[in-house]
Structures are given as C-alpha cells and as structure tokens.
Chain A
Amino acid sequence: MSVTEAQAPAAEPAIRTEHLTKIYSQRLIAVNDMNLQVPRGSVFGLLGPNGAGKTTTLRLLLGLQRPTAGRAEVFGKLCGPNAVAVRSQIGYLPTNPKLPEDLRPIEYLDLLGKLSRLPGEVRKPRIASLLRDVGLLDATDQRIGTFSTGMCTRLGIAASLVGDPPLLIWDEPTAGLDPSARRFTLDLIRELGKTKTIVVATHILGDIDQVCDHLGVMHEGRMIFTGSMQDIQRRIGREDFTLELEGDPENISRLVREAANLEGVEVRAASSVPVRVSSPEVSGLKCEVSSGDGALQTSDVKLPTSKDNGTVLVRVADGRRRARALADILQLVDACGLSLHGVHSGQNATENAYLQLLQEDEAHGFHR
C-alpha cells in the first residue's frame, strides 16, 4: 500500500464520481450523469455491452479526457489532464495496448519506470521481477513490434505494475487472449486483488464471475447497477444450483415431483440458463426468469434441447444448508435413473441478472 493511500481516510472510496458526464462534440453522450463509488480493496467489474461508455469512464479517471460535467476523484484527488498525483496511484492497462514497436520490453518498462520517477536501484530489479512474473523473460531481446496479442497484453500488465500503484484499471484485459493466457490473467487479478483495488472493464461475464467481488453495470453511458456480486445475483431468481441431466424426460418430471417433498428445496425443470446439449433440436419449453422483485415469470420460448437431456434449477431456501440440500437432490437424481452431467453453482445468475438489467433499462424508456 502506498503512503498516499495509507494517509487517505479509510472510509474514502478508491474511486468516486459525481454526475460525471462526457458528451462528444455536442452529439454523442458517452457517459451520462454517472455516480459511482468503488470501495477500497475491491475487485470491481465494470460491465456493459460494447459502446456502453466503459472505456470513456476509465479515460476520464486517467485524465486522458476531460469531463463535460461532473467530477471524478481517485483516493480523494480530483482527476484531470495534469493530475500527476492521481495517475501515480493508477496502473492502467488499455484494451489491446498500443505499445512503441521499436522498443524492447526492458527499454519500454525502464521508460515507464522513469516516468513514475523510480530511482534506478528500485526500477531495475522491479522490471526484472515483473518480466519474470508475466512470463516474458524469454522475449527480452525481441522488439515489441514482433509480439503477439497475448505477449502485448502481458507486457501491458507489467507496465501497469511498474509504479506499484494501489489502484489498477484494466480495460478488457482478456480481449484476444488464448485460454491459457486468459487463465493466467484472471489468476493474476485474483492474486493482485488481495493487496490492491482493481477495476476490470469487460463485457465478458465469465471474467466478472470469476474474479470480481463488486460490480457496476453500464448501459448507454449510464450506471444502471452498482453493488456486490451477491446483490446482483439476488436480483434474479435465487437458483443456487443448476443440474445438467441426461435421461428420460418422464424421469426428470418425476425428479421435480419428488423434490417438491423435500423441505426448503425447490426444483424446476427449466431452461432460463443456457442449455448444454449433445444433439440440439428445437422444442417448446417453459422458460422461467425472475423479474426485478424476484418473482418468477413464465413464458413460452423455443430453446434447443434433446428429449434425453434436461436442465433443472435448484433453489435452496434461506436457512437450509446448501450442501445437505444438494446431497438430497443428488440422491433423488440417482433414484430417478438420471445421469448427472454437471452441477453449476449460481454460474449463470450474473448473466441472467445482467441481461435482465439491460432489458429493464431498455423498457423504462422515459423514466430513465
């Protein structure tokens, strides 16, 4: 933790925006009256579809752009083009970072270290350590222009960490990465999240689910939701588990019927979550989604499924032990002659909640 961060009042959020607004050329509203607070020490996911204003928000925080109205603060300091003290607290990783192609990794990181005013005796060992941490030790003699997308992202990550800032702002850090590089990046975020505040802007829900503890959802320049991951998952039906089953549909119906006798457990055969099937066909199903107040609504949808595959949602009542409830359900699955293909715990809740938030925002129209 840096001295500056330590000196700031503990209650002070890492990032605070008040009525932050950015309008380009009096034509395009990129950020619309945004009020946001990112708690210190959190891993904050900034989620939104393409064009929602995520990158603009981050650039406003960095002072790369000037707000049309409102203000943004980082650790209590006002953001702006000459806010050097603010940027010294931030490690920024842009989407697919554009790096100087003629430099080699050590030269580039050394330049950034000097920009952060790090003396040589601190800078050099840190650069070596960072290059090792991001797995670029073997590429130190290559020019950055020869790097792949993944290598550029790794170098960008190292670049964001050169000054050892207390706040990391990473814009779509997993964009264009292969699975192993993606895994590496997410693991790194988890690790860094233990000591730093991290803001990850992305439209990939899987990333948010895996690493974030707080979330902000942006849509058309506005922040339509902020809160903890639990908060957003509570907004939708609280199915605690999703079971992927294979077997006779009759047996699945039987499972649902028999599960109704279990105390504090509700089981529904439904496909409100993506259905993973081996031989997709199209058939009519009842799809259950929850409305904003948590009530379930039912509507006819057509989803791909197979007569031998099904997904059931399991909701565990408050106060009932989840492990015990799952054990009971699994016993029933076995008793009904069904094969279990997978158990997912709340994995799709964020996605459903996110889509629901966007849908609600679209529907609100003028009330926005």
Chain B
Amino acid sequence: MARDYAHPEALVSTQWVEDHRRDPKVRIVESDEDLLLYDTGHIPEAVRIDWVTDLQDAVVRDYLGRERFARLCSEKGIANDTTVVVYGDKNNWWACYAFWVFKLYGHDDVRVMNGGRKLWEAEGRPLVRDPEPKYPSANYVAKEPDPAIRAFRDEVLKHQKAGRPLVDVRSTDEYTGAKLHMADYPQEGALRGGHIPGAASIPWSKAVNDDGTFKSARELEKLYAKENKLKRRGRIIAYCRIGERSSHTWFVLKYLLGYPNVKNYDGSWTEWGNLVGVPIEKGMPAGAGA
C-alpha cells in the first residue's frame, strides 16, 4: 500500500506557498466559485483566474480555446516554465478545475495548494484586498488539448457499454436520482435524475479532511482501490454535475494515487441527464453498500 502520494510534487503546503510566493518563477493563482471572493482578500502575490469568465467560452459550451488560454497565461505573467500553484474555496474544487485546464493545454508544472483558501485563512496567513498584481507579460505557447484527460459523451457511452469503470463523484442523493443537484446548489437544467449505469458512487468529499486538505495516500488507497475496487490499470472516467467536483477526484486519482488513465467527463450530468435515449439508472445498484 502506498505510503506517499504518487506525484507528491503536484501538491504544495501553505508553508511552501508562504516561502515561495515572491519567487518570480512561481505564480500563485486563486480560483473560486464566487468571483468576488478574491476581492475580499487574497494571497498578496496571487492572480485571479475565474472558472466562468476566464476558463469557459462565453458562447459555446466548452473551455476557452488554446489561443485564449495562451493569452490568459501571458496576461497573468505565466510562462511555459512557470510553476503555477492553484488554490481556492470549496475544498479546492475550482483550483482543481483550473489545474485540469492547465494540464489540458499541456502546462508542465502545476500544483495545488493543499487545504486551499480555507486552510490559509485558518492559519492566519496574509490576505490582502489590493488590486490584482500585474506581472510582466509572458509569451505563452499552449499545446493542443490533451485528449488523454478529457472524455466526450460518445466515448462515455462506449465506455459504459463496454462495462468500463465510471466514477460518479456527486452526493448520494444526486446519484440515486432523488435530487437533481446538490443540496443548496442551483439545478443546472438536467431533465432526468440518476446516474450512468455501472458508475460507482464515490462522493468527492470522501477524499478530503475537515480542514480542506486531502486525505493521506493510505486512506485514499483504501477508499478507491479497496472499498471501490478501482483497478489502477483500468481506464477510468469521472463525472459530476458540471465537471468541477470530478476535476477534484480526477486530481486525486491521477496525481495522488497515480492511476495512469483517468479522464474527466466535463459534460457530466448536465449533459448526460439531457441526452435523448442514453441509458440511466436510478437508485443504488443491487448489492451496493449504503
């Protein structure tokens, strides 16, 4: 059983950020669910990247394109060899979402600050309300999107028909179809409730501690490999509602546990629950534990 994370370099501590936040080779990036949270206090050197207004295309339902990603990085003073450290609210959901987009366009060195905003704040570390700092513009060159980490619906359907592993990381009520969305979250327009048949229900929240940090390699191994029998060599697709919580689980499986083949299905339930004629299952599968 693993004693350390498979890719420990993908995770940094709040202390590491404290020690490196002024390093010109390091760019700290805050990514939150609430756009204005950054304005109410952020790590002094951090820039903001927003999941809606920066990372999504405003017209097509898709991420921003390669050229816009390159422009965004250049504007934020991120070069191809910059060490990018993402952090944010909500247990780093949006930080993982941003991390995934950086990997989609081939950024080499991206890391997540373990514990996110919550831990940084709890430790009484500095947060400032200054305007977003400006850094010298870089000449970023983005790679073509990496198909190895993103799943589209046709592939998910084939994957499902072939009985390959799918991980549904939403809450149990969303999985069973009792609810169309998380408690307290908006219903983002799915016409059917339930899950993709065959998907294992492993809510993302099982991977984190109360202080917002990730659970230990040993605990994660127990959760995913032992209790849910996810095989390391299997091709795995994770999904949630709009792709943010599944970015979190994708990060855990790929970087903390070292599963080589994990994709995020960002279309997730808001796509699947609206597709005509695709199979849907409700309730808990027979034989599944509570």
Is chain B found bound to chain A in the same assembly? no
B: residues with CB less than 8 A from A are none
A: residues with CB less than 8 A from B are none
